[in-house]
Homo-oligomer: A and B are copies of this chain.
Amino acid sequence: MKIDIHKVALKAGVSIATVSRALNNSDLVKPDTKAKIQKIVDELNYIPNPIARSLSKQSTETIGVVLPDLVGEFFMDFIHSIDEEAYKRNWHVLISSSHSQRNLIETLMELMGSGRVDGVILMAPQIQDGIFEIISKSKTPVILVNTCGDFNGTNQIKIDNFKGAYDIVEHLIKVHNYKKIGMINGPKGNCDAEERFAGYLSALKKNKINRDPSLIVNGGFDVDTGCIGFTTLMNQKIKPDAIFAANDMMALGAYETAKELGIKIPDDVAIAGFDDIYLSQFLTPRLTTVHVPIYDLGSKAVKYLLAAINRDKKRQRHFEVLPTEIVIGSSCGCKH
């Protein structure tokens, strides 16, 4: 038999209002009464129905997380950190990835319009038209994760793609004296990709190396396009002496292809990546890459979102760029 607040009230000899107050730790309830009620609650193993509470309070204590389509090990850590942070505060996490079948917009609208969650963490490196309209029209607080640009009034948290890329390319230039640094770019329109590319260009410029369009190829952040990109770069007359892949997955593709073609890393060509995915430490040679503070990203996203929910007007907004850090392996030519 399902036990509800009435049963507790009956057994405790008080009204349901008092039970409710006691459980919400209102100081309108006498300590004695609280204790008495708590005893009954424990006895009966009563758990208040969160759905009813949500309806009444008009808040769900649940945050929604919307993820992009492609998911990798990266995201598990992200979710884990979100869950951890949410748990600490007794909040819940509703997951929703956008699928081939449905687009981000749809997912987002449904989540935000429905009242199923009090706020949304939206990871959207590939921002689509219409998203801002939805966000700004809605009263549901949102925090954008890894989204390009600075959208006024919207909470944002992201990683420092630019500086990470800048630093690692500068490492290739200054420490190793490479002159022909190729790049396998990420997908068009992807924020992370664009910022990393900008960092690459900037490092070249600051170090007075001319940008050579033949050394820049496009990729899609996956292994296959890494293979293709690497092949393209290495089949040209002017071969690069180092290649910066915009993420580790593409660097991995480069490794694979290098092995097949008998090209030695870093002797024939140096490689650097971005993300520091778990896998990269096990590559031979260890990949030089950029570490991304993924745990921090998740837990801060939760903190800022809850702050936004609690102050309920979106007055003061959060905008933060988390630092990235280069991780030196031997794929760049460093000895270990």
Q: Which of A88-113 contact B (CB under 8 A)?
A: 88, 92-97, 99, 101-102, 110, 113
Q: CA A101 – CA B83 in complex, angstroms?
A: 12
Q: Report B-chain residues with C-beta under 8 Å of the C-beta of A97.
A: 80, 83-84
Asked whether A49 is an interface residue with its Cβ less than 8 Å from the other chain, the reply is yes
Structural contact, A51 and B54, CB atoms closer than 8 A: yes
Chain A, interface residues (CB within 8 Å), range: 35 or more
Q: Which of A63-80 contact B (CB under 8 A)?
A: 71-73, 75-77, 79-80
Q: CA A72 – CA B284 in complex, angstroms?
A: 21
Q: CA A284 – CA B284 in complex, angstroms?
A: 8
Q: CA A96 – CA B83 in complex, angstroms?
A: 7
Q: How far is the CB of A135 from chain B (nearest CB, A)?
A: 15
Q: How far is the CB of A163 from chain B (nearest CB, A)?
A: 27
Q: Which of A15-68 contact B (CB under 8 A)?
A: 45, 47, 49-52, 54-55, 60, 62
Q: Report B-chain residues with C-beta under 8 Å of the C-beta of A51.
A: 51, 54-55, 60, 115-116
Q: Which of these, B60, B84, B95, B278, contacts A93 with CB under 8 Å? A: B95
Q: Which of these, B47, B102, B279, contacts A110 with CB under 8 Å? A: B47
Q: Report B-chain residues with C-beta under 8 Å of the C-beta of A264.
A: none
Q: Report B-chain residues with C-beta under 8 Å of the C-beta of A174.
A: none
Q: How far is the CB of A243 from chain B (nearest CB, A)?
A: 17
Q: Which of A249-268 contact B (CB under 8 A)?
A: 252, 255-256, 259
Q: Report B-chain residues with C-beta under 8 Å of the C-beta of A47.
A: 110, 113-115
Asked whether A321 is an interface residue with its Cβ less than 8 Å from the other chain, the reply is no
Q: Report B-chain residues with C-beta under 8 Å of the C-beta of A279.
A: 278-279, 282
6 pairs of residues in contact across A and B, judged by CB atoms under 8 Å:
A45-B113, A71-B77, A73-B76, A87-B102, A93-B96, A282-B283
The 7 A-B pairs with the shortest beta carbon distances in the complex, nearest first, are A73-B73, A76-B76, A47-B113, A279-B279, A51-B54, A51-B55, A93-B95
